[in-house]
Structure 1
Amino acid sequence: MSVSGFEGFEKRLELHFSGDDPIRNIGMGLRLLEFESLDKVLHAVQCTVVSAVGNHYFDAYVLSESSLFVYPTKIIIKTCGTTQLLKSIRPLLSYANRMGFYPDGCKYTRGSFIFPHSQPFPHTSFKEEVLYIESSLPTSLAYRKASIMPSKISTSHSWHVFTASNHDIHHQCHDPLPSLRYSPLSSSASYTIEICMTELDEAVAQKFFRQPEDGKSGHSAGREMTKMTGIQAINQNAVICDFAFDPCGYSMNGMDDDKYSTIHVTPEEGYSYASFECVVSMNDDRDDDDVVELLKKAVQVFRPGTLSLAISCTGGFHHDVWPRIVSGVKPLGLKCMSCTMDDFPAAGTVLFQTFSSRRNRAGWPGGQEGGR
């Protein structure tokens, strides 16, 4: 907890691995990493597991500060507050190496912190974060790129991306940071959708506060919030593991076969925040419609004053995806303020859009990003 308020904006780390270890051949891979080892990693990050669930494809953990997903060859950690997420890289690489797995790629993303001066090392600035990641990764991940994707809402609202890959799938060239149109790490094309929402509707935010001494566990209170707020309806096929914090705050992980989703809410007045993240497989021509529908459902649940949307695409965007998103959310009172696109090794194409509601044109809360 920072001195100003709780930092809702998450830091997100995704690591991909490959290897010939026999463990991988039985389909479990990194899922066989002992919980004691995961606990040590999370201790370095400064968070703990509060709930867990698994299916045939992956394991999902709700953390005291967001979420952890473990697939056979992929690990995703997403943490908020003043956690030191990047301190997980070195121990994770070490544990994976002992199991016969080696890194194929790395992706780190985050929005602009509401309270940047409260962040500890190595999150004191994006420059410092990039230096720390690069020093933690093996030299085999030679194709690297760091970029801040800007917004016209204000200078303090932007999307930070760092990626690294072990090879350029198109061609070798003199550029040490080549752009890739799709990810060499993914066996199937997909969209990864990251939505950040601030200035939540006050009536909605109040639903994520618990009554004093309600006598409920975090699990039972979380289930009530999931039903009461309409979160369950965002993806009715998902099996949800949810948790409500005391006195306020909410986290959930959803499992829909091999696809995950996750929501985190910080409802405090003055710095309310909610995030929604999910994966959409690109199997047919309706994929863009699925993205728009998911975005609309999330907006309808939280009714934010300001929203940013980052979509990473491993298979190449349909040409009309961003205007369809704009037209899809316009009836909900959201105006597109900016749109930018860039290519990254190990992540494909990233589309970043920002929106502001009719009830708020004042811009993004919080201060400037420090130390850039």
Structure 2
Amino acid sequence: MASLGFEGFEKRLELVFLLPTCGGERARHGLRLLPVAALREALEAVQCAVVSAAGNASFDAYVLSESSLFVYPSRVILKTCGTTRLLRAVPVLLRAAGELGLGLRSCRYSRGSYLFPEAQPFPHADFDDEVRYLDGAVPSGLHFRRSSVLQPSPQSTHKWHVYSASTSSDGATGHEHVDGATHFTVEVCMTELDRTLARQFYLTPADARSSHAIGDEMTALSGLGGVNPQSLVFGYAFAPCGYSMNALDGARYATVHVTPEDGHSYASYEYAGGGADALASIGRAVAVFRPSVVSASVCYATTAGSQAVDATSVWSAVANALEPLGLACRSQAAEGFPGAVTVTYQTFTA
């Protein structure tokens, strides 16, 4: 817990590995062969734990006590909120992957601006410290490194922090396409949620059902089940309030995390998948919460795909999804990172 309330804004880490070329089980399953003990050690270093797990033919998904973990054969995405020490997982994961014969291909770390920055532990209180920690943690073979703080306007208090390291300056960073379409990773942060809608994510006193059962009911009643209607959704309710869910659809995933308390209410939506629906789904997710303040970041590969994608078209698609909800774009920015990846960032207010 932070000093004034729970820190909803998440830190996000994505590590992409090279699978062995010799074939066999390690080449097919890669990181999904990580021992349970290795995952537990990584999460203990972060100071969180698994509360729910699911999987399909493409990946494994875990709801954590603070956000989510996704494990594919060649990449792992770890997203945590609160005062977790996310980057402490990096050396643990690199060592465990190395024991499977997997070498790191790229690393990307991102986060927004905290609600309670003074409560964050080292190295997370300061982005410069996070960058130094990552520079020392990732292998020296990742020559192409860049860190940047996207602040669309000098007046804006909203900033998007990004660190990227890659073995290549222009090659792909893994999982760039889904069904022939350009892959997008969408991260949406919402604050000042509609109070009535936020109350849906409180437990009813004396409700004896499981956290999974109550979470499934919250998914249905809130409308979150319709954000990505083709997905299999796993919801989880926290006591006395709060909600997390992971949604699985083939190789795609979506995840939502809600901290509904008055004064520091927060919800996040993340989607990783291909096609225009990745951007259109932003509007459906934000409509569930009706926030007064929204920031949206989109990460995508610029080197290939079924159609050309640029920052202007992404900005327009995000604005088209949010403006019908009474939200106006106040600022926008975009920057390129090693591995031919572009990150866009926009802020919206009611």
When normalised by structure 2's length, the TM-score is 0.93
Whether the 8 Å CA contact 2:19–2:27 is kept in 1: the answer is no
Deviation of the 1:51 alpha carbon: 0.3
Query: Taking structure 1 as reference, are residues 26 and 291 closer, same or farther at Cα in structure 2, changes over 3 Å only?
Result: closer
Deviation of the 1:70 alpha carbon: 0.3
Whether the 8 Å CA contact 2:48–2:65 is kept in 1: the answer is yes
1:13 corresponds in structure 2 to 13
- Structural mapping, 1:149-298, within 5 Å: 149-152=150-153, 154-169=155-170, 183-186=172-175, 188=177, 189-282=182-275, 287=276, 290-298=277-285
2:145 corresponds in structure 1 to 144
User: 1:303 is matched with which residue: 290, 295, 298?
Assistant: 290
SS in 2 for 1:28: helix
Deviation of the 1:55 alpha carbon: 0.3
Indicate yes or no: 2:309 matched with 1:317: yes
Aligned-partner Cα distance in 2 for 1:52–1:151: 37
SS in 1 for 2:175: coil
Range 271-280 or range 152-161, more displaced: 152-161
In structure 2, runs of 5+ residues without a counterpart are 303-307
Deviation of the 1:299 alpha carbon: 1.6
Range 23-32 or range 12-21, more displaced: 23-32
Aligned CA-pair RMSD: 1.6
Aligned-partner Cα distance in 2 for 1:167–1:324: 29
Aligned-partner Cα distance in 2 for 1:321–1:187: 16
In structure 1, runs of 5+ residues without a counterpart are 170-181, 358-372
Whether the 8 Å CA contact 2:16–2:173 is kept in 1: the answer is no
SS in 2 for 1:92: helix
Whether the 8 Å CA contact 1:185–1:346 is kept in 2: the answer is no
Count residues in correspondence: 339
Whether the 8 Å CA contact 1:153–1:337 is kept in 2: the answer is no
Query: Taking structure 1 as reference, are residues 339 and 142 closer, same or farther at Cα in structure 2, changes over 3 Å only?
Result: same
Range 16-25 or range 340-349, more displaced: 16-25
Whether the 8 Å CA contact 2:188–2:297 is kept in 1: the answer is yes
Whether the 8 Å CA contact 2:271–2:278 is kept in 1: the answer is no
Deviation of the 1:278 alpha carbon: 0.5
SS in 1 for 2:201: coil
Whether the 8 Å CA contact 1:107–1:347 is kept in 2: the answer is no
Which protein has greater RCO, CA pairs closer than 8 Å, 6+ apart?
A: 1
Aligned-partner Cα distance in 2 for 1:274–1:24: 38
What is the one-letter code of the residue matched to 2:309?
F
Query: Taking structure 1 as reference, are residues 353 and 215 closer, same or farther at Cα in structure 2, changes over 3 Å only?
Result: same
SS in 1 for 2:121: coil
Per-residue CA distance 1:128-148 (angstroms, 9 max, x = gap)? 101001110110001000000
Aligned-partner Cα distance in 2 for 1:334–1:192: 21
State, as a whole percentage, how many aligned pairs show the same letter: 45
What is the one-letter code of the residue matched to 2:172?
S
1:85 corresponds in structure 2 to 86
When normalised by structure 1's length, the TM-score is 0.88
Query: Taking structure 1 as reference, are residues 154 and 210 closer, same or farther at Cα in structure 2, changes over 3 Å only?
Result: farther
Indicate yes or no: 2:342 matched with 1:353: no
Deviation of the 1:346 alpha carbon: 3.5
Deviation of the 1:326 alpha carbon: 1.9
Deviation of the 1:347 alpha carbon: 6.4
Per-residue CA distance 1:22-50 (angstroms, 9 max, x = gap)? 55555211101111110111000000000
2:4 corresponds in structure 1 to 4
Deviation of the 1:153 alpha carbon: 8.6
Whether the 8 Å CA contact 2:59–2:71 is kept in 1: the answer is yes
SS in 1 for 2:28: coil
1:38 corresponds in structure 2 to 39
Query: Taking structure 1 as reference, are residues 347 and 229 closer, same or farther at Cα in structure 2, changes over 3 Å only?
Result: farther
Whether the 8 Å CA contact 1:23–1:99 is kept in 2: the answer is no
Aligned-partner Cα distance in 2 for 1:260–1:267: 23
Deviation of the 1:314 alpha carbon: 1.0
